[in-house]
């Protein structure tokens, strides 16, 4: 008996934490209770990318896109749609959805091109059969039986794929170096140590489509002549680890990993290594040391890992997203791939859109899409109608891009020219309420914590820059401090051992350049224009005060005084700037200045 309906329930971490598991169970229970369990297949899929409105449930073939679903809605979905064939308009994303309108018409999806996320939200990530059905392991067939090692390298070079981990090194060249490196023992490594605050596209890719990573690594193994691969993934990603483990097991059962793959005589195996959450272990040389069981600290390059990596053997290490691109390049061809994107960068990029944005979530767009399209068309603009201030790309390694640069097409080169970088693809949107000094300080504090301490420019530089930024946010900054920030930052960029130290000054330096007036306001006028730096704020009671005394009772420092029914006063010397009085006052009589 074939199914008349398919219900896809998002099983990404974001949706799972808002009870998508219970939804899945309830749907199955309801289907059974109403006697339609043979008519509907209920599938748990990977992330749909529209995390803002999660949990997401999609019903096919009607293409009903339900958002903010609760476990209690399961009954209605089954009873209405499966039994009676009527959609549940209350839950639809687009309440005015016309009949036959496709999900791809939702503005959030309209501009997206899903290559890396091609299977996310479509297949059940825990089923190897469904991956195979979507042309999975077809690229591996080609690589094992039809193409030579040189042909594979040529194809990837021709496709113009660049490393998606941030730096954008051409993948084909890296593989060629690994192929040419001498030695009978070589390794393949997947970097899934995603650590940028606010970035989660690697996690979602693995959760939604783990087999694409395994397939790509096996292809690389065949290409460079390696028989062992490692996936280095954070222990903080339990669901992704679980799905990878399951996928590896299934691949073994099907003979797609292990000895004599598909009868080709080629052996390849993959093991998982869990990272303990050190940010620096996302840097490739530090990551390799960590796999070796040593302390995760970077080593100088050259030698590059492709020459001497894991245990001194030639090693190809790529980011999750780079791997996810490989199978589809081989199945669809380099010509198809290189048509997507712009002159500088080919293909697509997945961004994790977060911060003060209406539709936060995972977004995959062709290279060369402008920030304006991503933020205002796909992202739906700034939350609560506030004004856009800037967007931080690349996490602690990237810079802040201001509103003047919104129309620049995004690719590797353009981001570097704007003083930022692609990074892994985190995109944090800021509005007028965010203070750039505060943000620069936040990222610098992150780098102080995460600096491994091996080289002094990074270890001492991050600490010094943080101290200066902290002084500025307290109103103790001087004009020389701004100069010092630039000097230390530039020295760190030039002298640090690895990318962590080289890019740590980026948020500070880019804001110093683009939002200098805000720094000047902090240093010269001792004011924080967005009211974030609390040491520069003065709380002030205006004439609107009716003298109810509510604020005085809330004040933890007991510094508000005044007679009943007369205007109260704040003793500024004792005020902690906690803002409790402002939140308490019903009459909006307390102002921040």
Q: Which stretch binds other proteins (CB under 8 A): 97-105, 183-191, 223-231, 266-274?
A: 97-105
Helix (H, G, I), strand (E, B) or coil at 541: strand
CB of 135 or CB of 445, closer to other proteins: 135
Q: Which stretch binds other proteins (CB under 8 A): 59-67, 269-277, 301-309, 521-529?
A: 59-67
> Is there a contact between 547 and 562 (Cβ–Cβ < 8 Å)?
yes
CB of 51 or CB of 128, closer to other proteins: 128
Q: Does 138 bind other proteins (CB under 8 A)?
A: yes
Residue 65 CB, shortest distance to other proteins, in Å, is 12
> Is there a contact between 17 and 54 (Cβ–Cβ < 8 Å)?
no
> Which of 72, 107, 145, 238 lies at the binding interface for other proteins (CB under 8 A)?
145
- Could you write out the DSSP letters of every residue in 486-526? HHHHHHHHHH-SSHHHHHTTHHHHHHHHHSHHHHHHHHTS-
Q: Which alpha helices (DSSP H) does 303-452 contain, by range?
A: 320-332, 334-338, 371-372, 412-417, 436-450
* CA angle (556 as vertex; 550, 560 as ends), nearest 5: 55
CB of 86 or CB of 544, closer to other proteins: 86
Q: Does 383 bind other proteins (CB under 8 A)?
A: no
Residue 4 CB, shortest distance to other proteins, in Å, is 6
Q: Does 264 bind other proteins (CB under 8 A)?
A: yes
> Which of 96, 263, 265, 564 lies at the binding interface for other proteins (CB under 8 A)?
263
Q: Does 63 bind other proteins (CB under 8 A)?
A: yes
Size of the site for other proteins (CB under 8 A): 36
> Which of 32, 33, 72, 86 lies at the binding interface for other proteins (CB under 8 A)?
86
Rounded to the nearest 10°, the torsion over CA 309, 311, 312, 318 is: -10
Q: Is 90 exposed, middle or buried (0-12, 13-18, 19+ CB in 10 A)?
A: exposed
Nearest Cα to 395, choosing from 289, 283, 296? 283
Nearest Cα to 313, choosing from 186, 412, 207, 440? 186
Q: Which stretch binds other proteins (CB under 8 A): 70-78, 165-173, 249-257, 292-300?
A: 249-257
Helix (H, G, I), strand (E, B) or coil at 47: coil
C-beta pairs of 294-303 under 8 Å, 24+ apart in sequence: 296/452, 297/452, 297/454, 298/452, 298/454, 298/497, 298/498, 298/500, 300/497
Q: Which two tokens stand for residue 428?
A: 């944090």
Q: Which stretch binds other proteins (CB under 8 A): 186-194, 230-238, 248-256, 447-455?
A: 248-256
CB of 119 or CB of 345, closer to other proteins: 119
Strands 57-60 and 40-45: unpaired
> Which of 2, 302, 384, 563 lies at the binding interface for other proteins (CB under 8 A)?
2
CB of 84 or CB of 564, closer to other proteins: 84
Q: Does 129 bind other proteins (CB under 8 A)?
A: yes
> Which of 34, 88, 262, 460 lies at the binding interface for other proteins (CB under 8 A)?
262
> Which of 17, 32, 70, 102 lies at the binding interface for other proteins (CB under 8 A)?
102
- List Cβ neighbours of 88 (8 Å cut-off, separation of 6 or more): 64, 66, 73, 76, 77, 80, 81
Residue 331 CB, shortest distance to other proteins, in Å, is 12
Q: What is the rounded CA–CA span in Å between residue 392 and residue 421?
A: 10
> Which of 25, 94, 141, 373 lies at the binding interface for other proteins (CB under 8 A)?
141
Strands 57-60 and 5-10: antiparallel
> Which of 28, 29, 111, 134 lies at the binding interface for other proteins (CB under 8 A)?
134
- From residue 334 to residue 373, the character string flagging contacts with other proteins as x (rule: CB under 8 A) and all else as - is ----------------------------------------
Q: What is the rounded CA–CA span in Å between residue 108 and residue 380?
A: 8
| H helix and E strand count, the chain | 25, 17
Residue 53 CB, shortest distance to other proteins, in Å, is 21
Residue 447 CB, shortest distance to other proteins, in Å, is 45
Q: Does 495 bind other proteins (CB under 8 A)?
A: no
CB of 81 or CB of 348, closer to other proteins: 81
> Which of 254, 474, 527, 532 lies at the binding interface for other proteins (CB under 8 A)?
254
Q: Is 76 exposed, middle or buried (0-12, 13-18, 19+ CB in 10 A)?
A: middle
Residue 254 CB, shortest distance to other proteins, in Å, is 5
Q: Does 85 bind other proteins (CB under 8 A)?
A: yes
Q: What is the rounded CA–CA span in Å between residue 73 and residue 395?
A: 37
Q: Does 99 bind other proteins (CB under 8 A)?
A: yes
* CA angle (121 as vertex; 207, 37 as ends), nearest 5: 105
* Start-to-end C-alpha separation, the chain: 70
Residues from 198 through 237 that contact other proteins (CB under 8 A): none
Q: Does 89 bind other proteins (CB under 8 A)?
A: no
Residue 150 CB, shortest distance to other proteins, in Å, is 22
State the DSSP code for 268.
B
Q: Taking the CA atoms of the chain, what radius of gyration do you get in angstroms?
A: 27
CB of 210 or CB of 507, closer to other proteins: 210
Q: Point out which residues bind other proteins (CB under 8 A).
A: 1-4, 6, 8, 60-63, 83-86, 99-100, 102, 122-123, 129-130, 132-138, 141, 145, 254-256, 262-264
């Amino acid at each position: 008996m074939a199914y008349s309906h398919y219900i896809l329930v998002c099983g990404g971490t974001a949706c799972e934490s808002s009870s998508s598991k219970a939804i899945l169970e309830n749907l199955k229970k309801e289907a059974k209770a109403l006697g339609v369990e043979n008519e509907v297949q209920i599938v748990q899929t990977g992330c749909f990318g529209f995390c803002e409105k999660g949990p997401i449930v999609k019903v096919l073939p009607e293409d009903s896109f339900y958002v903010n679903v609760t476990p209690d809605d399961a009954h209605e979905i089954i009873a209405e749609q499966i039994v009676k064939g009527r959609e549940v308009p209350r839950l639809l994303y687009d309440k005015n959805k016309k009949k036959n309108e496709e999900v791809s018409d939702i503005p959030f999806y309209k501009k997206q091109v899903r290559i890396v996320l091609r299977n996310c939200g479509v297949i059940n990530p825990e089923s190897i059969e469904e991956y195979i059905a979507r042309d999975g392991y077809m690229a591996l067939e080609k690589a094992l039986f039809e193409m030579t090692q040189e042909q594979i390298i040529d194809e990837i070079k021709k496709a113009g794929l660049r490393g998606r981990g941030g730096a954008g090194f051409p993948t084909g060249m890296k593989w060629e170096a690994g192929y040419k490196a001498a030695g009978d023992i070589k390794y393949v490594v997947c970097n899934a140590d995603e650590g940028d605050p606010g970035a989660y596209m690697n996690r979602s890719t693995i959760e939604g489509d783990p087999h694409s990573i395994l397939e790509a690594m096996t292809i690389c193994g065949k290409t460079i002549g390696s028989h062992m691969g490692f996936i280095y993934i954070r222990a903080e990603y339990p669901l992704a680890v679980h799905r990878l483990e399951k996928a590896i097991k299934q691949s073994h059962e099907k003979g797609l990993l292990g000895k004599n793959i598909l009868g080709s005589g080629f052996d390849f195996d993959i093991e998982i290594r869990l990272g303990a959450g050190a940010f620096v272990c996302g840097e490739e040389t530090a990551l390799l040391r960590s796999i070796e069981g040593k302390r995760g600290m970077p080593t100088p390059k050259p030698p590059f890992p492709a020459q001497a990596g894991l245990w001194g053997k030639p090693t190809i290490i790529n980011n999750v997203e780079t791997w996810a691109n490989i199978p589809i390049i081989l199945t669809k061809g380099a010509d198809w791939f290189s048509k997507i994107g712009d002159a500088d960068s080919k293909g697509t990029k997945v961004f994790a859109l977060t911060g003060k944005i209406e539709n936060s979530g995972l977004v995959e767009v062709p290279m060369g899409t402008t920030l304006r399209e991503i933020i205002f068309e796909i992202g739906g603009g700034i939350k609560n109608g506030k004004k856009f201030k800037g967007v931080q790309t690349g996490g602690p390694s990237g810079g802040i891009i201001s509103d003047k640069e919104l129309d620049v097409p995004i690719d590797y080169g353009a981001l570097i020219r704007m003083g930022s970088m692609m990074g892994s693809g985190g995109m944090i949107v800021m509005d007028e309420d965010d203070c750039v000094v505060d943000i620069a300080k936040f990222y610098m504090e992150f780098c102080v914590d995460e600096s491994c301490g091996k080289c002094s420019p990074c270890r001492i530089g991050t600490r010094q820059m943080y101290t200066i930024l902290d002084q500025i946010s307290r109103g103790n900054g001087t004009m020389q401090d701004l100069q010092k920030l630039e000097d230390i930052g530039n020295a760190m960029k030039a002298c640090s051992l690895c990318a962590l130290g080289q890019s740590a000054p980026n948020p500070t330096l880019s804001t110093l350049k683009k939002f200098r007036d805000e720094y000047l306001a902090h240093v010269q006028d001792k004011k924080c224009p967005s009211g974030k730096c609390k040491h520069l704020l003065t709380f002030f009671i205006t004439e609107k005060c009716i003298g109810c005394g509510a604020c005085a009772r809330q004040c933890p420092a007991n510094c508000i005084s005044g007679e009943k029914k007369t205007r109260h006063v704040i003793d500024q010397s004792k005020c902690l700037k906690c803002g409790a009085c402002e939140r308490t006052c019903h009459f909006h009589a307390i102002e921040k200045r």
